[in-house]
Amino acid sequence: MPAKRILIVEDEPDILELLRITLAKEGYDPIFAKTGEQAIELAKKDLPDMVVLDIMLPGIDGLDVCKILRSDPRTSHIPIIMLTARSEEADIVTGLEVGADDYVTKPFSPKVLSARIRNLLRRQAATIPDQRPIRLGSLIIDTMRREVSIKGRPVILTYTEFNILLALARRPGVVLTRYQIMDAAHGQEYVATDRAVDVQIVALRRKLGTYGRCIQTVRGVGYRFSGPV
Ligand code: CA
């Protein structure tokens, strides 16, 4: 199998060099862009297997790059990991909402970034198809019948709780923002508040018993399903 090609978008030379060394050592084929414009051009030309995208860039920033890549059918499927400053929670939320799959905060350890890249590539290969039941340990979500059971015992969920669980469990390990959860819960037309999502999550956790712990809070950003236990 040819080495996975990873497009790194970063304008700071030191970080770019660190990323280049790290990814080459892991056996990837790294390519580079120093501006958003260059990133878009390269992504469309080379169709990389993944993009590691800094948010703060000269010219168009990483958030816009993300939006543009997601809106082009040729590049819309490419997994994207964003690099953000630790303090910029608003950027993280926006980044996830414009389609980034994951994020790593700066300063980052090369080991952590490599692990995230590996996970995301693996997850991409193992995305759960829409109609099949989802099995996570002894938790089974029957997407057709809209039924949930744990160790064979039914768990009774409301319409909204089921949709939230499904959205989270379909992409284990992926952080969803509250907005994304609201969207999954009710469809586009329904308007709810952040607080309403938190209330739903509390109820869902309680009904899931020990599996409730699989729904992790990512502070300031949203929630993710991590498991099975
Ligand atoms: Ca930068």
Q: Compute the distance from residue 113 Cα to the ligand 1 centre, in Å.
A: 16
Over the chain (229 residues), the average pLDDT of each successive run of 10 is 91 93 93 96 94 94 94 88 85 88 89 89 66 88 91 90 90 87 68 78 94 93 82
pLDDT for position 171: 84
Q: Give every CB contact of residue 169 below 8 A, 6+ residues apart in sequence.
A: 134, 136, 139, 141, 225
Judged by DSSP in three states, 34 sits in coil
Q: Compute the distance from residue 177 Cα to the ligand 1 centre, in Å.
A: 24
Q: Give every CB contact of residue 222 below 8 A, 6+ residues apart in sequence.
A: 93, 96, 175, 176, 177, 178, 180, 181
pLDDT for position 190: 56
Amino acid 88 reads E
Maximum Cα interatomic distance, the chain, rounded to a whole number of Å? 56
Q: Compute the distance from residue 33 Cα to the ligand 1 centre, in Å.
A: 11
pLDDT for position 47: 93
Q: Compute the distance from residue 106 Cα to the ligand 1 centre, in Å.
A: 10
Q: Strand 50-54 to strand 80-85: parallel, antiparallel, or no bridges (unpaired)?
A: parallel
The pTM score is: 0.70
List the domains of the chain with CATH numbers: 5-125 (3.40.50.2300), 134-225 (1.10.10.10)
Report the candidate in 62, 15, 14 with the shortest Cα–Cα distance to residue 39: 62
